Structure 1
Amino acid sequence: MSSYDVIIIGSGPGGYVCAIRCAQLGLKTACVEGRETLGGTCLNVGCIPSKALLHASHQLHEAEHNFAKMGLKGKSPSVDWKQMLTYKQETIEANTKGIEFLFKKNKIDWLKGWGSIPEAGKVKVGDEVHEAKNIVIATGSEAASLPGVEIDEKVVVTSTGALELPKVPKKMVVIGAGVIGLELGSVYTRLGTEVHVIEYLDAITPGMDAEVQRTFQKLLTKQGISFTLGAAVQGVEATKTKAKVTYKLRKDDSEHTVDADVVLVSTGRKPYTDGLGLDALGVAMTDRGQVKVGDHWQTNVNGVYAIGDAIEGPMLAHKAEDEGMAVAETIAGQKGHVNYGVIPGVIYTHPEVANVGMTEEQLKEAGRAYKAGKFSFMGNARAKANFAADGFVKILADKETDRILGAHVVGPMAGDLIHEICVAMEFGAAAEDLARTCHAHPTYSEAVREAALACGDGPIHS
């Protein structure tokens, strides 16, 4: 029986980062993974492959719509879907093999197979039982479905199936207007698919700033995606090659149907903890099926921790990574910490959408006096030169102290721009601090400075 200081179950972003950090801190570490490759959902069937397809399809969009404007003339490229999927797979392999290299470099043992916890201090993988002073549950999540909707990953698919369709469909219905549905809907729209999004709520991207929701929907509609909001899906009737989606409009209870070649179910995700033996172990769970943890990510069972999608909070890879590092430091006797108020969110469509901190709606609900500084990318020289002038940067700051409380970006490279504001918030900066920081010209980042200036005397280029 092998013995470790820490065994992490799951090698997704939370798990593998936790394992590497544990090893860096001198702990004898192993990581359990049942897939043939490391990296979890994110690297294998989630974040990374979807970004590959988003990148490829965006290049097609640029060639079709903007190349000629720049004097780049010639026949528009055709889509070789098989080669695009090969490119996607090569991207996955480069990343998963990278994690395998990091495990070897840091002397982390990969326990291949599916793990369970038969008792505190022990992890079973296959027929072998390993001892561990500490166990970290980092098993991630799986796609959630709806009553009356049966997933076959061929005609009715989750994000996993949508990343490996045998051909580009003519019509696709996306159930759910969240991040995953809109990203993959964007991919197929650019490839020529007629995409129709059905959302139960009255706005897309639930929980985001309302002004962002409205602007983002207008931009996606302009790109060719159609939306039906305030609609409850009643069921999906599928054959081998087609599907029919039935839904009711909440405003008048009227029933409607829409046909599609593929139906993408993107109604959220749920923690994946099946087979771990948590019930028998006595691990406390939340009403939503998440592992319940305390301030230091420890469960009610001594020596058993949980992080990432398996616990409460936003289901984001980088949130899991932060928790993975923090748990490793806690186990090593240090002061692990995660600032949950400064976790950015990004949608990798074009334009991108990014946010951090509070929305205007949350500030109003909390009765917090605030000011909003906004700047349109139409006033940004780099954005105009690159045909990327849609969207804006909005910074929310405390009305009295000017301290930054949140930020929302719709526009080019939003997922990168948001981090300047994240760093500012970590240091408790005021909007004026950003406004007085010199930004290189011409860059997209100048829009962030202008939005910060808008919290004071006003922007320069607006």
Structure 2
Amino acid sequence: SIFGGLGCKVELINPAKSLLSFLDAEISEALGYHLRNMSVRCRHEEHFSHIEAHDDHVITYLDSGKKIKSDIFLWANGRTGNTDKLNIGAVGLVANKRGQLEVDEHYRTSVPNIYAAGDVIGYPALASAAYDQGREASNAIFNKDAFHTLGEFPTGIYTIPEISTIGMNERELSEQKIPYEVGKAYFRNIARAQITGDEVGMLKLIFHFDTLEILGIHCFGDQASEILHIGQAIMNQKGGGNTLRYFLNTTFNYPTMAEAYKVAALDGINRVF
């Protein structure tokens, strides 16, 4: 999306059936739509075969027989743990094929006096999570009473437009046969978005049909990662505090993007009977 935003025509070769398939399907589809508007063409379920380099261009060959001519070829293969030069075998550690180490719930590796945190232990491989993992690993070593298991964490994807999500999506809830309903607020209907001109986007609240407990929050658009934190705070409330009614009964500043929660909550409660 960054290259598309700079005016480049982009061919995205994606082995999966959809973009970022772990996302809520509606959010993934919205991203694909806006990428197309930025001249990013997504080729799903395609696999790279080989490339042919020339002085002024590159030809990419796909397993399906297609070939693509471009100025630049960018290969994105994810992240690996930076362990290959640490000689970890000398202390009895073995990394997986991506250079990552397995840890227990206290971030202890297979060697009891060695701990690991951050990208080197794999999922979620987020800077925000790594910060807290490192702190809790230190607590596990030096201050066991202060240690606590990290709960659900948000995901921020800094595409254009931005995406952020926490909790379960519709597919996961349907697979588990959990009754749910959805409330949505489109940014084009939010006064603050109209004022700033950032009208592309949506806030989606997924909540339990019977209890109104918020089960997932999915946001797409400008400042999505910031907007999500409001809902995250409510999802973390105990003793019945995690409920859609918080947004129904709370008055938000106007005009703000936080108002989207009120709009989405009203949209959702109107579907409950």
TM over 0.5, yes or no?
yes
- Answer yes or no: is the 8 Å Cα contact 2:105–2:149 preserved in 1: no
Alignment CA distance shift 1:274-1:284 (3 Å): closer
Cα distance in 2, alignment partners of residues 286 and 424 from structure 1: 37
Gaps in structure 2 of 5+ consecutive residues: none
> Which string of whole-angstrom CA distances, capped at 9 and with x for unpartnered residues, describes residues 248-274 of structure 1?
3xxxxx311111111111232222211
- Answer yes or no: is the 8 Å Cα contact 1:404–1:430 preserved in 2: yes
Paired position in structure 2 for 1:273 = 83
Paired position in structure 2 for 1:235 = 50
- Answer yes or no: is the 8 Å Cα contact 2:203–2:220 preserved in 1: yes
Amino acid at match of 1:222: N
> Which string of whole-angstrom CA distances, capped at 9 and with x for unpartnered residues, describes residues 248-306 of structure 1?
3xxxxx31111111111123222221122222322254576421111100112122001
Cα distance in 2, alignment partners of residues 240 and 314 from structure 1: 39
Gaps in structure 1 of 5+ consecutive residues: 1-185, 249-253
Q: What SS class does the counterpart of residue 80 from structure 2 fall into?
A: strand
Paired position in structure 1 for 2:17 = 202
Amino acid at match of 1:444: M
Paired position in structure 2 for 1:298 = 108
Amino acid at match of 1:224: S
Paired position in structure 1 for 2:263 = 450
Paired position in structure 2 for 1:359 = 169
RMSD of Structure 2 on Structure 1 (CA): 1.9
- Answer yes or no: is the 8 Å Cα contact 2:5–2:160 preserved in 1: no
Cα distance in 2, alignment partners of residues 236 and 206 from structure 1: 26
> Which string of whole-angstrom CA distances, capped at 9 and with x for unpartnered residues, describes residues 98-157 of structure 1?
xxxxxxxxxxxxxxxxxxxxxxxxxxxxxxxxxxxxxxxxxxxxxxxxxxxxxxxxxxxx
Q: What SS class does the counterpart of residue 233 from structure 2 fall into?
A: helix
Amino acid at match of 1:351: P
> Which string of whole-angstrom CA distances, capped at 9 and with x for unpartnered residues, describes residues 36-78 of structure 1?
xxxxxxxxxxxxxxxxxxxxxxxxxxxxxxxxxxxxxxxxxxx
* 2:215 corresponds to which of 386, 405, 411: 405
Per mean C-alpha deviation after superposition, the further-off stretch among 282-291 and 408-417 is: 282-291
Cα distance in 1, alignment partners of residues 248 and 172 from structure 2: 24
Amino acid at match of 1:316: L
* 2:233 corresponds to which of 417, 423, 431: 423
Paired position in structure 1 for 2:193 = 383
- Answer yes or no: is the 8 Å Cα contact 1:237–1:244 preserved in 2: yes
Cα distance in 2, alignment partners of residues 332 and 208 from structure 1: 37
2:150 aligned with 1:339, yes or no? yes
Q: What SS class does the counterpart of residue 388 from structure 1 fall into?
A: coil
- Answer yes or no: is the 8 Å Cα contact 2:165–2:219 preserved in 1: yes
Amino acid at match of 1:352: E
Paired position in structure 1 for 2:122 = 312
Cα distance in 2, alignment partners of residues 437 and 286 from structure 1: 48
Q: What SS class does the counterpart of residue 217 from structure 1 fall into?
A: helix
Query: 4+ residue stretches of structure 1 with deviation over 3 A?
Result: 284-289
Cα distance in 1, alignment partners of residues 265 and 150 from structure 2: 23
2:2 aligned with 1:187, yes or no? yes
Amino acid at match of 1:262: I
Paired position in structure 2 for 1:322 = 132
Q: Percent identity?
A: 29
Cα distance in 2, alignment partners of residues 351 and 192 from structure 1: 15
Instruction: Give 1:455 deviation, angstroms.
Output: 2.8
Q: What SS class does the counterpart of residue 150 from structure 2 fall into?
A: coil
Q: What SS class does the counterpart of residue 305 from structure 1 fall into?
A: coil
Instruction: Give 1:225 deviation, angstroms.
Output: 1.4
Q: How does 1:13-52 map to 2 (within 5 A)?
A: none
Cα distance in 2, alignment partners of residues 327 and 217 from structure 1: 38
Amino acid at match of 1:211: E
2:187 aligned with 1:374, yes or no? no
Cα distance in 1, alignment partners of residues 5 and 30 from structure 2: 19
Q: What SS class does the counterpart of residue 339 from structure 1 fall into?
A: coil
Instruction: Give 1:408 deviation, angstroms.
Output: 0.5
Cα distance in 2, alignment partners of residues 277 and 349 from structure 1: 36
Instruction: Give 1:310 deviation, angstroms.
Output: 0.8
TM-score, normalization by structure 2: 0.90
Cα distance in 1, alignment partners of residues 5 and 99 from structure 2: 37
Instruction: Give 1:434 deviation, angstroms.
Output: 2.6
Instruction: Give 1:411 deviation, angstroms.
Output: 1.6
Alignment CA distance shift 1:438-1:294 (3 Å): same
The higher-RCO structure (CA 8 Å, 6+ apart) is 1
- Answer yes or no: is the 8 Å Cα contact 1:351–1:388 preserved in 2: no
Task: Number of aligned residue pairs: give it.
Answer: 267
Instruction: Give 1:213 deviation, angstroms.
Output: 0.7
Instruction: Give 1:240 deviation, angstroms.
Output: 4.6
Structure having the higher Rg? 1
Amino acid at match of 2:206: L
- Answer yes or no: is the 8 Å Cα contact 1:352–1:414 preserved in 2: yes
Paired position in structure 2 for 1:107 = none
Alignment CA distance shift 1:432-1:339 (3 Å): farther
- Answer yes or no: is the 8 Å Cα contact 1:296–1:327 preserved in 2: yes
